[in-house]
Structure 1
Amino acid sequence: MDVLQTKKHWKLVPMLYLMIGFLLLLPVKALGEEMQLSVEAELPENQITKDAGYYDLKVTPGQIQELVLKVYNAGDKETTAKIEINPAYTGDGGTFVYSIDASKKDDSLKLPLSDIASTDENISIPAKSAADVIVKLAIPDEPFEGIIFGGIRVTDTQKEKEGTKESEEKDSSGFSISNKYAYTVAMRLRENNQIPDSNLQLKTISASQVVGRNAVKVLLQNPTPTIIDKVSYEAKIMKKGQSQVLFERKANDYRIAPNTNFNFPISWENKPFEAGTYDLMMTAKSEESGQKWDFKQEFTISAKEAKELNDKAIDLEQDYLKYIIYGAIAAAFLLVLIITLLVIYSKKKKKKRKKKRKAESQSKNKRRKGTNNGASKPKRKTNSGKRRPNGN
């Protein structure tokens, strides 16, 4: 048996080698495709954070400056990169996002980075080589307060043509972020070290959905030209006037960009929305600045909103206890109705039988009277005219 088993094992060895070789080849090819473009910021003399991989510049009113961003192409073919300069905003996941989204533009943002910095929209990079992207800064003559924050986004247009989907952006190393085929180098501008106090405001609360699942979205706003870092949240939802917590959420390490708004979603835990008025209690705290914001606000979910969202929701849990109770009530009502109808029917039937018996009895009495009135009485026999023989 041992020999046979050993032979069987040896037969599997070539197959194992083939599988290992196939797995080893896959990552090499993928990496070659994903890492064709890379970027590097050449930091100027007015750089504040000297060892950063992003631009952190101290500027003066009316200043004109050119920045150099190197773009490397590690591929075997020449490629074209698309260059965008966008203001930063806060993603709903608590990270900085630098892609264009007009709906995210906050009304408190008066001077976006795209109004100050400019560059060519496209640049060609030869194979196995690098090219310089020249970014021109034109600082307004009128001084600005706080921080102007955004990023230079470089996208491989060839990958866009191929229809390759990009992964979600997340700032994993400070301000410089990247995904599969797009790289962003952040840019932070300020004229002095006097940064105003940050603020956080609660704008609206609304019933909504996140990836098809019911959730309440709390719209928060940072109306100040400041970055609020290392923010933690604790939120609770109760029925209006009650203390029992229905839904809650905690989150840590959020980053909030200047002059932006964002949603803080609170999951409804796959439960259907119920129309009514609710209370939100929420606390936000920055571990970096020590600031704390407390919010308490009521909101209403209408019957129309609840129905529309429940009809569209996926993986919605049904409240079977509620349906059992409703079913029991309906069954009890139906049972009472049936019993009531049976009682009414029984009474009517009994009344009908009684009426029928009475009618039959009256009919019999009438027949009896009719018979008695129509028959002559029998005549009594008399011995008139006849005498009994005398015994004498």
Structure 2
Amino acid sequence: MKHVLKKIFVLLLFFMITLSFYDTTEANQVGFSVDPKFPSNQLDKDSGYFHIQLKPGNKQQLSIELKNYTDKEITLKTTVASATTNVNGVVDYTPTTNKTDNSLPVDLSKLIKIDKEIVLAANETKQVPVFVSMTNEFVPGVIASGISFEEINSTNQKSLTNQTTVNNKFSYVLALLMQQEASLDVQPELNLGKVMAKDINTKTSISAYIRNVAPAYLNQVKIESTLTKKGEDKPFYQYKKENMQLSPNSVFEFPTFLNGKKLESGEYTYKAVISGMTAELNKEEREKLTWELEDVFHVEKKRAKELNDHDYQVETTKGTSTKWLMLAIVLNIVLITSFVSYVFFKKKKSSN
């Protein structure tokens, strides 16, 4: 049964990739553009996003140029969100279920103000104001956020069958970073939160919640995780992932995927060796940092069975036996067919 489910999953994945390729043209046809107009206090003028220095208590009006490339009126919905780190180790500037850390110094909804809806006439170019303010409290690092622009009622439906449609939503995200000082000395600081066994997209993962409690990015992140069962010297499983990035004051759910290895119940020690580069404005001042984080967690027998049963990559004993049985049947059919063919042609040759 598990083998059959695996085949079905692969076929569905192939179908989804085919649909994505089929609809690429429509997905890339975003009908508007977003262009930040950099102020004099922009720190990085070569970037495509805002990165400004603003003293404590100061306020400023920024400007964004929006352009409608279509021949119809469009309405854009805007949202402001703190930067977070998603499960793939990529910084996300959109509203999401990813977590910010409790150490986040400010509520960005009180620092950044922009109209919630913006109407653009056909082929119109409009300068949209963004009002930002810096908290009175001292923040030693970066406050990272993003402004999302999504076209309302922009869903482009393409009918594939009378029961299937592909929906595209046209959106754009602009990062907005603020800091109080031109040069920063603060470095990322990592702590380990809870560690737990869970399911992510039908794959078993030992997920560790890694907290960056400092207002600083960590770049070129590499994590090597090791799971060791209690009373054993040999690691139960090891995993490595590189080229990730952690956003300031965020919680990164780092998954150690078992990739088909059957999870056993019991007590484990989780150890993560994490390295990364600081993100100073002056590239010559960048420094490599390393952490070794460790925790103990327990997997109940019932929970292990649930995860193994749900993981399409895990081959159960029954599934393995079925696979070998099917292989034996096929081989027998081939042998019998070959034998019958041999006898038939031998008799035919004798009669001739």
The root-mean-square deviation of aligned C-alpha atoms, in Å, is 2.6
Structure 1 CA distance for aligned equivalents of residues 132 and 215 of structure 2: 19
1:106 CA displacement: 2.1
Match of residue 217 from structure 1: 207
1:30 aligned partner: 26
- The CA deviation at 1:121 is 0.3
1:241 alignment partner in structure 2: 231
Task: Give the alignment partner of residue 266 of structure 1, picking from 222, 231, 256.
Answer: 256
Inter-partner Cα distance in structure 1 for 2:151 and 2:233: 53
Q: What is the alpha-carbon distance in structure 2 between the residues aligned to residue 29 and residue 100 of structure 1? A: 26
- Report the CA distance shift for 1:105/1:198 in structure 2 as closer, same or farther (over 3 A): closer
**The structure with more helix, counted as a fraction of residues:** 1
Shift, 1:320, TM fit = 6.0
Are residues 60 and 68 of structure 1, via their aligned partners in 2, closer, same or farther at CA, if it must alter by over 3 Å?
A: same
CA deviation map 1:160-217 (0-9, x unaligned): 4869656xxxxxxxxxxxxx62111111111112332211111111000110111111
- Which one of the candidate residues 104, 124, 127 is aligned to 1:132? 127
Q: Distance in 2 between matches of 1:223 and 1:161?
A: 41
Range that drifts further, 230-239 or 182-191: 230-239
What secondary structure does 1:238 align onto? strand
Summarize the Cα distance change of 1:321–1:240 in structure 2 as closer, same or farther, 3 Å threshold.
farther
Judge conservation of contact 1:147–1:195 (CA < 8 Å) in 2.
no
Does structure 1 conserve the Cα–Cα contact (< 8 Å) formed by 2:264 and 2:301? Answer: yes
Amino acid at match of 2:26: A
TM-score for the superposition, normalised by structure 2: 0.74
Gaps of 5+ in 2: 1-21, 158-164, 279-286, 323-352
Paired letter, 1:248: Q
Shift of 1:103: 5.9
Give the aligned partner of residue 197 of structure 2. Answer: 207
Structure 1 295/45 Cα, relative in aligned 2: closer, same or farther at 3 Å? same
Task: Assess if the C-alpha contact under 8 Å between 1:208 and 1:217 holds in 2.
Answer: yes
Deviations 1:219-275 (A, max 9, x none): 100011111111111112222232323322211121111111011111122233221
Q: 2:84 aligns with which of 67, 82, 89?
A: 89
Q: Quick one: distance in 2 between partners of 1:122 and 1:110?
A: 28
Match of 2:242 in 1: 252
Letter in 2 for 1:262: F
Taking only the aligned residue pairs, the percentage that are identical comes to 25
Q: How does 1:263-342 map to 2 (within 5 A)?
A: 263-288=253-278, 289-319=287-317
Contact (CA 8 Å) 1:214, 1:310: kept in 2 or not? yes
Structure number having the greater strand percentage: 2
Matches within 5 A, 1:1-392: 30=26, 34-101=29-96, 104-160=99-155, 165=167, 181-192=170-181, 193-288=183-278, 289-319=287-317
2:47 and 2:88 map into 1 onto residues whose CA distance is 24
Quote the Cα distance in structure 1 between the aligned partners of 2:190 and 2:23: 44
Distance 2:289 2:269 in 1: 23
TM-score, normalised by the number of residues in structure 1: 0.67
8 Å contact kept, 1:148–1:225: yes
1:65-110: per-residue Cα shift (whole Å, max 9, x none)?
Answer: 1111112221221111111111110111111112223562321113
**Alignment size in residue pairs:** 285
Deviations 1:38-64 (A, max 9, x none): 211000011011121111100012212
Higher relative contact order (CA 8 A, sep 6+): 2
CA distance in 1, matches of 2:92, 2:167: 17
Say if 1:195 and 1:226, in contact at 8 Å, map to a contact too: no
**Compared with structure 1, are the counterparts of its residues 164 and 109 closer, same or farther at alpha carbon in structure 2 (3 Å cutoff)?**
farther
Rounded Cα–Cα distance in structure 2 between residues aligned with 1:36 and 1:312: 41
Say whether the 8 Å CA contact 1:271–1:318 is kept in structure 2. Answer: no
Letter in 1 for 2:314: L
How far residue 145 of structure 1 moved from its aligned partner, in angstroms, is 2.4
